[in-house]
Structure 1
Amino acid sequence: MILLLVLSAGACSKYFDQVPQDRLSTNEIFQTRSGALGYLANVYTYIPDEFNQRQVHETALYRTPGPWTAASDEAEYVLSDNKAKLINNNTLDATDQTMVKYRWKSWFTGIQQAEAFIANIDKAPADQVSTSEKIQWKAEAKAMRAIYYFYLVRTYGPVPVLKENYTQDTPTDELQLPRSTVDECFNYIVEQLKEAQNEGLLDNAATDAVSGLGRIDKAIAQAFIIEALTFRASWLFDGECSYYAGLANNDGQKLFPEKPSAATIRSNWQKVADECATFLNTYGTRYRLMYTNKNGTVVGSADAADFDPYESYRRGVRTLRSDMASNTEMIFYRIDNSAGTMEYDRMPNDHRISDGNYKGGSLLGATQEQVDAYFMNNGMSPITGYKANGITPSINEASGYVEDGVSKADYTSATGQVYAPAGARMMYVNREPRFYADITFSGQKWFAGTNGGNITDFTYSGACGKLYGVNDYSSTGYLVRKHMGAGDRNQSLICILLRLPNIYFNYMEALCHIDPTSAELWKYMNAIRKRAGIPMYGEGANALPRPADANSVMDLIRKEKRVELGFENTRYFDLRRWGLATEFFNKAVHGMNINADGNDFFVRSKVIDRSFNRQYFFPIPQGEIDIDKNLVQNTGY
């Protein structure tokens, strides 16, 4: 049925192509239950599949992954043609016919299909689709339309908001559309999500045998209301970013707001805090952080005797399709995805292994900067910054971090998890549990059960090194490990796009702008830390002091978020909306010396230079600018 669906998005002045005459008409599709439900399913098609960030260059509608992980300072793809490099070296332009063009085209396709569904679902006969189903499905389509607008604005900045249901018959002169303002975009997104909540979304879509898991419900809509308001309140969108102060439509309409007053800033963040409180008060029993023992069996809380922080965190961010109903912290996700591609990118290319199912490409290397960001087991940061050369770390002596030497014994958790085997470098010992769940380092045991559990070796001549890798090797001497599990690389995983800690961090950020001493702020900060198995701030054993001023608290929130939501597609956008992209992205990233063996490998080395000066947003595709004379380009392109 999806193949029979009508109307795909094209250029901005002709968003919709003519429907081939040999396909079903819209009226015919909505005469059957299967046709209507199939059309609704197609509306969901363009939800991002962020497991496939290696192949974001594919020239096709569908899936809409972004380059976000390797286009931040978290990771680096070894592949020279990876699209993230266009952002990192400041060569992305409006003529890009793949990534720039197809994110825009796909999300506007989703918007149009949502529009068409809303306009036509009431035509379905009552004996095919009940009145209550029409109401619910229409609300789902309305929410999806708003979510696609959010993705567009997050990626391209303010875009034209289509207030009418344009079709392929709309005259061209009526489609010379200007960009809507920042406030028009975000107000529309929030209004539409709230309307969908009030007009038919289920409280919990999992209770619907037809729509089921993965469909939009009130909680998911609330999460996107929070996301939208968080972006709107941030530096990039609230008028503080002078880079876009002059961006205006042809009629002179400024697209970004004027520089806000302190009262306006506080008011904007209060809206975020209020919506977060609504989410937590309404859905706080449904969504909970995962707490398990070392075997993955759910336990009551972090206070349980057999609680294991490593496995709890790993289960919270990684879920098999067969276990998705048991994950209590994932909110929004994509079930159909490219898990195999993600697993290949993150699994070591170990030449000792002949079975291709247990051997990957070593393609996505974690940067030294991200490795340094993880805390020690005492909750302190090991590295406080870097010397003037950008490579030499400023070591926090109080943390107990040691850069050189090797461990003489296994470093294990209280429940017996081997975090760092004997012989591992000391720089990888005594780190927090999330470090071992997220990072594969040289000298670490790959997950038990994968062809015997080999010790990874990324040195030049090592089993996973550049000598044997040809084009498949880690360019940083590390691999991103997050989402991976024991066994082969063909496991059916859920691509989680939003989970409960996303809400926690938005709430903490909002509260920091309102009252950095708020008990609610520290409640959720410490909930994340306690689940991570490290000391909390101001309470519990070995408590760390709580900073009191807003700037110090915000800095702490950023550090904590970088770890908890590492490699989850937030940092790329966070540093932009915070106004910190130039500080973190306009410089080289580092790793180990992958061209050396032995001790010479464990020398911090530059991987590649990066440049940032205009890449807050993607450019508007040039093809859209050429056709729609009222569509202005982003500053800098």
Structure 2
Amino acid sequence: MKKLVVKIGVFCCVLNMLSCNDFLAVTPDNVGTIDHAFRNRNEAENYLFSCYAYLQRAANLATDPAFTTSGELIYPNNLIDYLGFNRGGFNVLRGFQSAASPALNTWNGENGSYNFFRSIRLCNNLMDNIDKPIDLTEAEKRRWIAEAKFLKAYYHFYLMRMYGPIPLMKENLPINSTTEEVRVYRNSVDEVVEYIVELLEEAIPDLPESIQNINSELGRATKVIALGLKADVLMTAASPLFNGNPDYAQITDNTGKFLFSQVFDNEKWKIAADACLAAIQESEQLQLRLYTFVNPPNIGTLSDSLRTVLSIQNSVTERWDQNPEFIWPNAPSSGYQGFATPRLTALAVNNAWSNPGTFSAPISMQELFYSDKGVPINEDRTWDYGGRYSLKTAEAEDRFFVKEGYTTVKAHFGREARFYASLAFDGGVWFGNDVYNQENAYFVQARGTAAFAGPKDMVRLNITGYWPKKLVHYQSVYDDGFRQVEFHLPIIRLAGLYLWYAEALNEYYGPTNEEIFLYLDAVRERAGLEGVREAWTKYSRIPNKPNTKEGLRSIIHQERRIELCFEARAGWDLRRWKEMQEALSEPFQGWSIYQGQAENYYRPVTQFMPIFGLKDYLWPIKSYDLIQNPNLVQNPYW
């Protein structure tokens, strides 16, 4: 792994020296430089790693559109911050997006983002020149070409999710291309999907089944990763945003060509389901399975409930070479654990630079999780939804979730294990941080200004009273300093793949297909919940909900949002479902964090009203790019 990261790092430096503002710089770089890059196997391998460079950079959560614009987390907007944290993505939901200077602009790499068209150009260069090194074996050549095709597919897909119709870069234009030849048109979404799938199908046979040399090759493409990406592409293509979306039906380019599909095609769901199943079958051949926590030697007896919490938390934070659930992990480690951690000790309070705790989950995220019966809290007949904001003091039976004797709101009691694995809150138990006795674990004390104090010239705070606990390894320690156990956030893990498959089957067949419940209930079982039909029959005010396509769709969507929360998936899911406007229709609220008494602290305070309209489902192309290339058309409603 070190070898891969170092080589990618070198090429990242080289790429940073290049201009990021040239529109679709599709003509090749200096020919002499290319010849040098492919003079032997080692140089060619370096170039291959440069093709991976922007894939590695995309792992930065601060510039990930699906992480920052999902509404799962908000970020304080009035802080003095000397860490140089990029708030551009978070500020999109505050209304700071514009066509003049788009945030997270992957079209041309401005405003803290990365130029994915340049990444595609590098992949094309590699395929054009792969025959030059005479010391490269045929097996290596086939694999490297397959990796380049995989990466081309990924970069095209990333752009498609953001912009919809994009120009396909099947090959680099000749160096003597005319101005008009460089002024490319956008291809339709269906054409883009077809090309991405074609690339992946060409790549899959020549990709390795698994990585054999873990020390030097983790992070490179494999067959199961490519099958997972293919499933992702086809699920996106089948979903309402791109499958007969009436909001885009009449959008054409300046030749009159339609850029979006005109009618809904249900067969796209069958194609997506088949792709999901193929990825699942490959995963099974590799003996991948849902992760369950096994006590390491330094931890004694754990309650079943706490072990379930750690199974969920560690399904994301376990080492990627030891996690049987990971299909495709990010190669760089997640670098924001301190942003997701509350200050649990007196020393940590005065160490704000390493433990800012600024990733803030709004109250709406707390409301999303099920009750401990496995149904939505507003449907559970046994759960006091109307009184959820009244106060309750934790008893001995609550002690593994809420500190015994601590007073907090009733909403924090009687919730499913994924709630306690994913969110930290006032009074919530925090197992870990160098304390591994479940009877003596830390707990969060969020009320009042003392918990958020820091150096006078560096004021940082969590503005809602909820932290994304799921993004912190339980063995990471934040005290007078910090000892961080690194982990790699998954791009695709098996639970997400199961839920994709269940979703596609429901959309195509409806709830009569029994496989839906097989895979949906497998994910719920790991979380300690009964199956969907059993839970809704016993506890829900809408017991028939799983028996209709619409009802089961709602269940599957909520299940994905719960299971994959904070993993940079919801931002894409809510867009492809066309549910983002609904999800962001209410103000972002938190608790009255400066109040020291429970009765004053637990009063919702509005932080801001998110701004998300119909136009925001797709990113705007920068206005200047449209002037440079009049053959492009702007995205709808911008």
TM-score of the superposed pair, with normalisation by structure 2: 0.85
Q: Deviations over 1:271-314 (max 9, x none)?
A: 0111111122232242210022354999xxxxx99993211111
Contact 1:8 1:109 in 2 (8 A): no
Deviates more, 1:538-547 or 1:158-167: 538-547
| Alignment-derived partner of residue 484 in structure 1 | 472
Q: Structure 1 residue 442 and structure 2 residue 451: aligned? A: no
- Is the 2:352–2:460 contact (alpha carbons within 8 Å) kept by the matching residues of 1? no
Q: Does 1:274 align with 2:262?
A: no
Q: Give, in whole Å, the separation in 2 of the partners of 1:142 and 1:494.
A: 24
Amino acid in the other structure paired with 1:442: D
Change (3 A) 1:296 1:195: farther
User: Contact 2:402 / 2:443 at 8 angstroms: preserved in 1?
Assistant: no
| Alignment match, 2:66 | 68
Q: CA RMSD, aligned part only?
A: 3.1
Instruction: Give 3-state SS (helix, strand or coil) of 1:406's partner.
Output: strand
Matches within 5 A, 1:316-465: 316-319=315-318, 323-337=319-333, 339-340=334-335, 342-349=336-343, 352-353=346-347, 356=351, 360-384=355-379, 396-399=380-383, 402-411=388-397, 417-418=400-401, 420-425=403-408, 426-449=410-433, 454-464=442-452
Query: How far, CA to CA, are the matches of 1:521 and 1:343 in structure 2?
Result: 35
By how many angstroms is 1:475 displaced?
1.3
Q: What are the ranges of 5 or more consecutive residues in structure 1 without an aligned counterpart?
A: 57-65, 299-303, 385-395
Structure 1 residues 72-120: Cα deviation after superposition (integer angstroms, max 9, x where no partner): 2311111357223442133311222662242775211111111101111
Aligned to 1:554: 553
Amino acid of the residue matched to residue 268 of structure 1? K
Q: Is the 8 A contact 1:335 1:494 kept in 2?
A: yes
Contact residue 181 and residue 256 of structure 1 kept, 8 A = yes
Number of the residue aligned with 2:208: 202
What amino acid is aligned across from residue 113 of structure 1 in structure 2? Answer: L
AA in 2 matched with 1:591? G
Structure 1 letter corresponding to 2:257: Q
Aligned match of 1:142: 149
How far residue 33 of structure 1 moved from its aligned partner, in angstroms, is 1.8
CA distance in 1, matches of 2:76, 2:214: 44
1:368-406 Cα distance to aligned partner (Å, 9 max, x none): 11111111222132235xxxxxxxxxxx44235643222
Q: Aligned pair 1:173/2:183, yes or no?
A: no
Shift of 1:130: 0.7
Instruction: Answer yes or no: is the 8 Å Cα contact 2:620–2:634 preserved in 1.
Output: yes
Could you tell me which residue of structure 1 aligns to residue 500 of structure 2?
506
CA distance in 1, matches of 2:20, 2:451: 48
Q: Does 1:214 align with 2:209?
A: no
Aligned match of 1:615: 616
Return the alpha-carbon distance in structure 1 between the equivalents of residues 297 and 525 of structure 2.
17
Query: Residue 192 of structure 2: which of 185, 188, 206 is its match?
Result: 185
Counterpart among 232, 248, 261 of residue 244 in structure 1: 248
Deviates more, 1:571-580 or 1:268-277: 571-580
Cα distance in 2, alignment partners of residues 628 and 105 from structure 1: 20
Return the letter of the residue paired with 1:484. Answer: V
Query: Closer, same or farther in 2 for the Cα pair 1:586/1:483, shift >3 Å?
Result: same
Letter in 2 for 1:160: P
Look up the SS of the partner of 1:216 in the other structure.
coil
- Quote the residue 1:42 is aligned against: 50
For these two proteins, the number of residue pairs brought into alignment is 591
Are the structure 2 counterparts of residues 135 and 408 from structure 1 closer, same or farther at C-alpha, using a change threshold of 3 Å?
Answer: closer
Note the C-alpha offset of 1:254.
1.0
In structure 2, distance between residues paired with 1:371 and 1:207 = 41
Does structure 2 conserve the Cα–Cα contact (< 8 Å) formed by 1:7 and 1:18? Answer: no
State how far apart, in whole Å, the 1-side matches of 2:167 and 2:495 are: 31
Q: Answer with 75-84 or 283-292: which moved more.
A: 75-84
Match of 2:4 in 1: none
Q: Tell me how far apart the structure 2 counterparts of residues 306 and 440 of structure 1 sit (CA, whole Å).
A: 16
> Using the alignment, how far apart are the partners of 1:455 and 1:419 within structure 2?
8
Q: How far 1:433 sits from its partner (Å)? A: 1.4
Amino acid at match of 1:38: N
Report the CA distance shift for 1:410/1:467 in structure 2 as closer, same or farther (over 3 A): farther
Amino acid at match of 2:132: K
Cα distance, 1:410 vs. partner? 4.0
* 8 Å CA contact 1:459, 1:597 repeated in 2: yes
- Taking every aligned residue pair, what percent have the same amino acid on both sides? 25
Give the secondary structure class of the aligned counterpart of 1:353: helix
Q: 1:8 to 1:171 in 2, by over 3 A?
A: farther
Deviation at 1:352, TM superposition (A): 2.0
Aligned to 2:97: 92
Counterpart in 1 of 2:83? Answer: none
* Of 29, 41, 64, the match for 1:33: 41
Letter in 2 for 1:317: V
* Matches of 1:530 and 1:207, distance apart in 2: 32
Q: Which residue of 2 aligns with 1:61?
A: none
Partner of 1:392 in structure 2? none
The amino acid of 2:550's aligned partner reads N
Deviation at 1:532, TM superposition (A): 0.5
CA 1:197–1:50: 2 relative to 1, 3 Å: closer
Q: CA separation of 1:232/1:129 partners in 2, compared to 1, >3 Å: closer, same or farther? A: same
Q: What SS class does the counterpart of residue 96 from structure 1 fall into?
A: coil
Kindly state the Cα deviation for residue 187 of structure 1 after the two structures are TM-superposed.
0.4
